[in-house]
Structure 1
């Protein structure tokens, strides 16, 4: 090119090309929210029906789902009235640095605990476990025998590297919508097979009549009923993903719609698995219903159904893992590097946090045989703070002057209920340990 020609070439175009921002879709948000909600909570719901009875359990599921909807509406309203785009940022606007740190710590404790528990469950399903000396074979061992390549350590390593790592490398939540859709479908399969088995047992007269109301005796006291509340609260705690999912949508109102659809869907799934799981196993239902499906089914077809149920659930939580990891990674980054640019724009920092979190989750799942007691306390502490106490406190603080009298009353009632039930549940759980 000649010098004259080069001189006439503009260094910059006269009109900058518009960067088209691709917004997330409402169905994608619904699947991502639903996947964030379901998680591992579905396993513990049937046991709450044994404690509470069918009618109180149904009412509790509906009430907590409605309160979760209200708390999300509070969060989104105050978010869009301020300048922050994260949960911790909204808490910072209302309560300063201490509020932000409290939210970040709760997300980190809740999500990291859940991720470790997910890997423990996957390890139990694939490679079995030996609680108190009793050997439970995993699906891989039942199918192929016991080998080095289906040991717990190796099976989890393959799962982490080839399934979870590719999913956690996505930098937008919307990119997980297809894996989330599959995850919800697997949860429906889990519920569907359980329901079919329960209906079959009912027709054969092999089920007991479920209790409609709680039965209090020497083994179950009135205060034991409150231990079911944190289980349901944890099952509906997804508030750590409200901002990552919501800000990828085009309109703020779409997030409220997505949450309401997801909450209704998940409440139906929870009650269905609770009712049919309770019908299927009666008073022998375990706190983790997968343990019941690990028992002898009495026939080859029954054993096959049990294996399908366990495998579908393991695949389900493999696909839940990246969603919880997404908000965990974002909160850790915001906590450690508050003045750095967005995490998605810094490849080195993004890869470092991603790989470290995967390594910590894997090593903890191998080293810790059981964290069920820890998980029980999550619902009474960090999860209840994220779901109800923090959103209610933001409304009462009202730094933007947008709360109505009704909002403040609802927020106060929500906080009082959360604190009272959690305190009783924690006290009862501690007392039961001694």
Structure 2
């Protein structure tokens, strides 16, 4: 995808750097923020239950800071070379293998996120039954349980009549207004949740949140690392750094947009994490929206519950095309590197779009729990895109622009990412086998 023409130029090949039309910093802030605030925010409250308030807050800050550093690394090395893409930098540093690895990680990460969005949308409208506990969706609460408000049917209708038209835009900048609306909807979700939590706190209906982790026979020290991938995934937006950044006039504008977005998103993450934890305590679900199916006993309480869920479902509907944008371009370049430009082949463009939507739909029906997807992505492809690949580019330093401080920072970033991901993966695998034994 080119900074100038969106799908008129593939995302991954090395093309000219001169954009035809500059996007605004404000639009970039909205697009970056929308790329960050996705499915991850739904599981942030569950990480507070695992980690405790203080460690979770520190982890959010640390990962946000590392994300800003890694983006600065990516942009600096991009402008030092001859490429305008993430895969292009990796190709300059590590050859074709680096480029292919980046493509695969972007495809898996974005596709996983799109599947999670559909899962959450299904949770909102048609409910879920985690561990045998029935949580009704908005449509089921309003009209009762029918075939037409089942998860399968509702998600299918959403894809055909809402998402399909939205994924046909050709430029990232074309999505800036929808991204603005998406950010507002996220603020509505966080704002109402916070007000509900404060009211419950004043009324003495909230539980005292744990400030530090509680370790017992069921929760070990290593279990704490399973929360790390969730927050890593929540801050992984690096696949959209180049599409958004190269539509701007100056490289420094992208760094400014990223810093503003990370500050905004970190504040939103911790706010919803704290107030969500206050509202539901240890009964918090991996997807907090599932918890909002319970009425507070008043008409106003029921209305607020529905507004919270619907506002974030609409938010995800607007985020979906932004991630689909880069996903579709990456898949086209990966599968058809020698074909004409994607925008010049309407048939190929529509085929890839429809196949992606169909696969996302089937996966969302087959895997209704977002916690496992978040853990998988955050421990593998997302952590590679966010921290390991940018750090490796700095250490490789093919353009000779790394400082000693850069190399030290990159080394620390890679070591922390590899250790945390390895422990998280090992703990999850052990938990799966332990639960079956």
CA distance change for structure 1 residues 202 and 367 in 2, over 3 Å: closer, same or farther? closer
CA distance change for structure 1 residues 374 and 20 in 2, over 3 Å: closer, same or farther? closer
Q: Which residue of 2 aligns with 1:275?
A: 274
Taking the aligned partners of 2:262 and 2:183, their CA distance within structure 1 comes to: 13
1:123-272 matched pairs, under 5 angstroms? 123-272=122-271
Q: Which residue of 1 aligns with 2:8?
A: none
**1:73 positional shift:** 0.5
**1:48 positional shift:** 1.4
Q: Bigger CA drift: 407-416 or 103-112? A: 103-112
* Structure 2 residues not aligned, in runs of 5+: 1-17
2:422 paired with 1:431: no
Taking the aligned partners of 2:226 and 2:128, their CA distance within structure 1 comes to: 26
Q: Bigger CA drift: 201-210 or 293-302? A: 293-302
Question: Per-residue displacement from partner, 1:107-166 (whole Å, max 9, x unpaired)?
Answer: 111111111121122122112234455443321122223344333333222211222112
Taking the aligned partners of 2:365 and 2:420, their CA distance within structure 1 comes to: 33
CA distance change for structure 1 residues 50 and 188 in 2, over 3 Å: closer, same or farther? same
Q: Which residue of 1 aligns with 2:42?
A: 43
Question: Per-residue displacement from partner, 1:224-265 (whole Å, max 9, x unpaired)?
Answer: 221111111111000011111111111111111111110000
CA contact (8 A) 2:51 2:212 kept: yes
Q: Bigger CA drift: 371-380 or 301-310? A: 371-380
CA distance change for structure 1 residues 285 and 409 in 2, over 3 Å: closer, same or farther? same
Partner SS, residue 379 of structure 1: helix
- TM-score normalised according to structure 1 size: 0.92
Partner SS, residue 146 of structure 1: coil
1:110-125 matched pairs, under 5 angstroms? 110-125=109-124
Taking the aligned partners of 2:53 and 2:390, their CA distance within structure 1 comes to: 30
CA contact (8 A) 2:230 2:374 kept: no
CA contact (8 A) 2:127 2:290 kept: no
Number of corresponding residues: 416
Q: Which residue of 2 aligns with 1:58?
A: 57
**1:26 positional shift:** 0.8
1:11-50 matched pairs, under 5 angstroms? 21-50=20-49
Q: Which residue of 2 aligns with 1:378?
A: 377
Partner SS, residue 379 of structure 2: coil
> Which structure has the larger Rg over C-alpha atoms?
1
**1:20 positional shift:** 9.3
**1:65 positional shift:** 0.3
Partner SS, residue 83 of structure 2: coil
**1:341 positional shift:** 4.1
Q: Which residue of 2 aligns with 1:15?
A: none
- TM-score normalised according to structure 2 size: 0.91
Q: Bigger CA drift: 127-136 or 154-163? A: 127-136
Q: Bigger CA drift: 331-340 or 171-180? A: 331-340
Q: Bigger CA drift: 362-371 or 194-203? A: 362-371
Q: Which residue of 2 aligns with 1:13?
A: none
**1:64 positional shift:** 0.5
Question: Per-residue displacement from partner, 1:57-84 (whole Å, max 9, x unpaired)?
Answer: 1111111000000000001111111122
Partner SS, residue 169 of structure 1: coil
